[in-house]
Structure 1
Amino acid sequence: MKNNINGFSKLSKEKKIDWIAQNYFSEPEKATQLIKSYWNADTKLQQLHDDFIENTITNFYLPLGLSPNFLINGKYYTVPMVIEESSVVAAASKSAKYWSERGGFKTTVFNTEKIGQVHFIFNGDKSKLETFFTKIKAKFHEDTNGTTANMQKRGGGIVDIVLKDKTAVLENYYQLHATFQTKDSMGANFINSCLEQFAKTLKREAVHYSDFTSDEKDIEVIMSILSNYVTNCIVRVEVSCPIAELAEKNIPNPKEFAEKMVKAIRIAEVEPYRAVTHNKGIMNGIDAVVLATGNDFRAVEAGIHAYASKDGQYTSLSHAKIENDIFSYWMEIPLALGTVGGLTSLHPLVKLALEILEKPSAAELMQIVAATGLAQNFAALRSLTTTGIQEGHMKMHLGNIINPFEANTEERLIIEKHFENNTVSHSAVVTFIENLRK
């Protein structure tokens, strides 16, 4: 068992590494060498990365790839994607090219409002609380004028604040439920600053409200925090074409293909076990772009999966139908994204990714991200309903299986040639390499 350590955060980076190496590795020097090999040679750039989080010792690299040929609302995009999973970028690219030849992706942003809440306990007369809230509502706006001034100049700010009675689910529980418009900023710090001021205003005004009893004046604020469930920040993405136009090399019977796709999605709509994996495929595309553009993929994941359960059962995010010989395929999801502030102005590769996307607004980025998610979903379902998911995935994964064996160029060519017409699996590749080297 390792020794506990006090004051770890106060140690220098070198001393943190030395402590880790000495306590957790049989060969401390090798561990130290590996950790330092991922440092950036540019010390200024390395310092920038060190400052992103606490207790940093090195950088953890993920590949940045590009998926071209995304035709969205008549405009072409090359989409940057950060992900470690084999075949995701290739699949998205293939779908993008496929649909670019069939009219492309059509997207609509319905709203871009975000939500925050002050959760509090009020042990008193509900009608008196409602009257009190009505009388002091303007105070919430007045007390946050300093915080909202710059956002208002950009066309954003506080949209509304309402009092919500949640006592039916938890005794004496109420909310200040606020909606915000943050324009091109994700706005988390802005929203949380406003909410914390709302809480202070609520408690201050309650103390001086003459109609409250002494018990009612003692409002207990539990917490003030934004919500990642952004049901007022929805984007729709869709593709459609005549069934006959679905035909290509691997789709010789487009009618049969379309019907099978619709059935596959219906299964994901009614079967949660399938829906989770189905939606994970959508998130492969979404998360990769969210990460590349410096946005919070954990918040996006949480909000989207909650949305998939909004009707009481976890279900498919995407849908499809055949009507009048037209195949239609669509998705509506909540997406709270930003293109200014945070990592977007700090991380050099995030800046690069946004340049590649031609400096999109937050609403435009929502559309790009949604289109990438639907493209990824289409690619996965096309494989599942035709050749099977493993054929393409494992061929893309072949390089990852070969790499630990440090194959030379000649060996790699022989291995790749062999598996052009043979099933790829880890054991099959290992056996082939061992036989090749005998």
Structure 2
Amino acid sequence: MDSRIPGLYKLDPEDRLSEIAEATELSQEAQNKITTQGIDAAEAGAISENVIGTIEYPLGIATNFVINGQDKLIPMAIEETSVVAAASNAARMARSTGGFRTQTSGPYMISQIQATEVDTPRAAKIDILDAKENLIELANEQDPVLVKHGGGCEDIEVQLIETPRGKMVITRLIVNVQDAMGGNAVNTMAEALAPEIEQLTQGNVSLRILSNLADRRLARASCTIEPSELETEDTDLSGEDIRDRIIDAWAFAVGDPYRAATHNKGIMNGIDAVATATYNDWRAIEAGAHAYAAVDGYGPLTTYEGDSDGNLVCSIELPMQVGTIGGATQLQPVAKAALEILDVDSANGLAGVFAAVGLAQNLGGLRALVSEGIQSGHMSLHAKNIAIQANAPEHLVDEIAARMVAEEVIRQDRAEELIDELQ
């Protein structure tokens, strides 16, 4: 499969889907689900509560990705313009040097059990650790299917933390959740151990729930970009100039959390879009990513450096709590089709894809920011949205958008004037 599909954006949606289906050998059933969106209000009631209907996002495909030597087409569901285009463009720049390389630290989730009002916290810690073997056995009894597939609780740790309400004893379960996101599994284990922890500590157990700071479940991606790939027709800047400006933009984010917040938002544009397309929990991913960015003072999740050959070396590291089975991933037919397009065989593989897309998204955004400016491509797409909102006939949308961009007046009243003028 070749993820390099020039001109895909020029096709209409039906022909575009045909191209993707041919490239990925997408089943006819999956194609039908994508076409119809595949979920009604009744089915949605199995996923959420008080359902009155459903809401659709555009489902786009980012092209050009090579991840660990394999071409990948990336489903992305997002309502923001320029995101899919930026990821595709950055992935194209990385192709000549082999694309993206990824690795993961394993599918480990953490669950916490909080004990308060413990008179002898240090002794309680020792008692919990003495009972570790029995506690792990009890935890694994809660999910024999997970254990059968090689997962389960593998370790127990105890922390004594100082809080505004006094010292607390926190028991941490380290659970291998295999190909699931794992929230339900680790929460069930924590619930089962809560009475045992209460007895061992002689305190009061309150919270028993997972942590979304999944720092035992890291995903990393890297790529190398030759300066010539960074050049753009919209500026006179050399590839070397743009390379240095990207590194300076990253350094700005290192030094200033106000910049780092927007820098990381650019990363999450890509990651959240893939999460939405595959029905993974983007809120959990967001929480984990920003918490990880703040562990030593809030900073960027990516790094940009120059190597001895003058290339731009790009990398990312962040928690990635995603799954290919369980949860809502199997309840939404379009999400199942998106996973079929991605063709990953494990949660670790999916986590690597997420990391690569986040890095590509950030690289694409920074390149635009430091060269022609973020508004150049973004506003041309925005102008089309404004033309459509003004009820422009389909055959006039592109022309009206182009005129508004040229005039640098992108407003609905101007779109309405141009409709009257051109009709």
TM-score category by the smaller chain?
0.7 to 0.9
Q: C-alpha offsets along residues 217-254 of structure 1, whole Å, 9 cap, x if unaligned?
A: 3x200110000001111111111144455445457511
Q: C-alpha offsets along residues 306-330 of structure 1, whole Å, 9 cap, x if unaligned?
A: 1111112x11111111131232111
- TM superposition score normalised by structure 2: 0.85
Q: Distance in 2 between matches of 1:44 and 1:333?
A: 32
Identity of aligned residues (%): 34
Q: Indicate yes or no: 2:373 matched with 1:398.
A: no
Pairs within 5 Å for 1:184-199: 184-199=179-194
Q: Distance in 1 between matches of 2:36 and 2:93?
A: 41
Q: Distance in 1 between matches of 2:191 and 2:245?
A: 51
Q: Indicate yes or no: 2:315 matched with 1:322.
A: no
1:66–1:199 Cα change, 3 Å: same
Q: How big is the shift at 1:398?
A: 1.8
Q: Distance in 1 between matches of 2:405 and 2:118?
A: 71
The amino acid that maps onto 1:184 is D
SS in 1 for 2:125: helix
Q: Distance in 2 between matches of 1:187 and 1:118?
A: 16
Kindly indicate whether the alpha-carbon contact (under 8 Å) linking 2:303 and 2:316 is maintained by their aligned counterparts in 1.
yes
Q: Distance in 2 between matches of 1:58 and 1:158?
A: 39
Q: Which position in structure 2 is the counterpart of 1:297? A: 282
Q: Distance in 2 between matches of 1:236 and 1:170?
A: 37
Between stretches 169-178 and 378-387, larger displacement belongs to 169-178
Kindly indicate whether the alpha-carbon contact (under 8 Å) linking 2:111 and 2:209 is maintained by their aligned counterparts in 1.
yes
Corresponding pairs, count: 387
Kindly indicate whether the alpha-carbon contact (under 8 Å) linking 1:395 and 1:424 is maintained by their aligned counterparts in 2.
no
Q: Distance in 2 between matches of 1:194 and 1:354?
A: 28
Q: Indicate yes or no: 2:166 matched with 1:182.
A: no
Q: Distance in 2 between matches of 1:391 and 1:43?
A: 36
Q: C-alpha offsets along residues 390-434 of structure 1, whole Å, 9 cap, x if unaligned?
A: 110010112210112211244335314524644352267436426
Alignment equivalent of 2:139, drawn from 122, 134, 144: 144
Pairs within 5 Å for 1:7-156: 45-156=40-151
Kindly indicate whether the alpha-carbon contact (under 8 Å) linking 2:40 and 2:54 is maintained by their aligned counterparts in 1.
no
The amino acid that maps onto 1:50 is G
Q: How big is the shift at 1:294?
A: 1.1
1:398–1:360 Cα change, 3 Å: farther
Q: C-alpha offsets along residues 155-195 of structure 1, whole Å, 9 cap, x if unaligned?
A: 11102112211147651311101111101001111100000
Q: Distance in 1 between matches of 2:91 and 2:37?
A: 36
1:235–1:409 Cα change, 3 Å: closer
Q: Distance in 2 between matches of 1:43 and 1:66?
A: 18
1:172–1:56 Cα change, 3 Å: same
Pairs within 5 Å for 1:321-340: 321-324=305-308, 325-340=310-325
Q: Indicate yes or no: 2:355 matched with 1:370.
A: yes
Q: Which position in structure 2 is the counterpart of 1:414? A: 399
Kindly indicate whether the alpha-carbon contact (under 8 Å) linking 2:301 and 2:316 is maintained by their aligned counterparts in 1.
yes
Q: Distance in 1 between matches of 2:102 and 2:37?
A: 41
The amino acid that maps onto 1:393 is H
Q: Distance in 1 between matches of 2:71 and 2:36?
A: 36
Kindly indicate whether the alpha-carbon contact (under 8 Å) linking 1:284 and 1:376 is maintained by their aligned counterparts in 2.
yes
Pairs within 5 Å for 1:245-256: 246-247=230-231, 249-250=233-234, 253-256=238-241
1:134–1:97 Cα change, 3 Å: closer
Q: Indicate yes or no: 2:223 matched with 1:239.
A: yes
The amino acid that maps onto 1:96 is A
Q: How big is the shift at 1:127?
A: 4.1
Q: Indicate yes or no: 2:346 matched with 1:361.
A: yes
Q: C-alpha offsets along residues 29-68 of structure 1, whole Å, 9 cap, x if unaligned?
A: xxxxxxxxxxx99998442113211111111111111112
- TM superposition score normalised by structure 1: 0.82
1:133–1:414 Cα change, 3 Å: closer
Q: Which position in structure 1 is the counterpart of 2:291? A: 306
Kindly indicate whether the alpha-carbon contact (under 8 Å) linking 1:283 and 1:373 is maintained by their aligned counterparts in 2.
yes
Q: Which position in structure 2 is the counterpart of 1:228? A: 212
Q: Distance in 2 between matches of 1:239 and 1:432?
A: 47
Q: Distance in 1 between matches of 2:113 and 2:168?
A: 11
Q: Distance in 1 between matches of 2:257 and 2:343?
A: 38
SS in 2 for 1:343: coil
Q: C-alpha offsets along residues 318-352 of structure 1, whole Å, 9 cap, x if unaligned?
A: 11111312321111111111000112211100100
Q: Which position in structure 1 is the counterpart of 2:364? A: 379
The amino acid that maps onto 2:219 is V
The amino acid that maps onto 1:230 is A
1:273–1:130 Cα change, 3 Å: closer
Kindly indicate whether the alpha-carbon contact (under 8 Å) linking 1:73 and 1:107 is maintained by their aligned counterparts in 2.
yes
1:124–1:247 Cα change, 3 Å: same
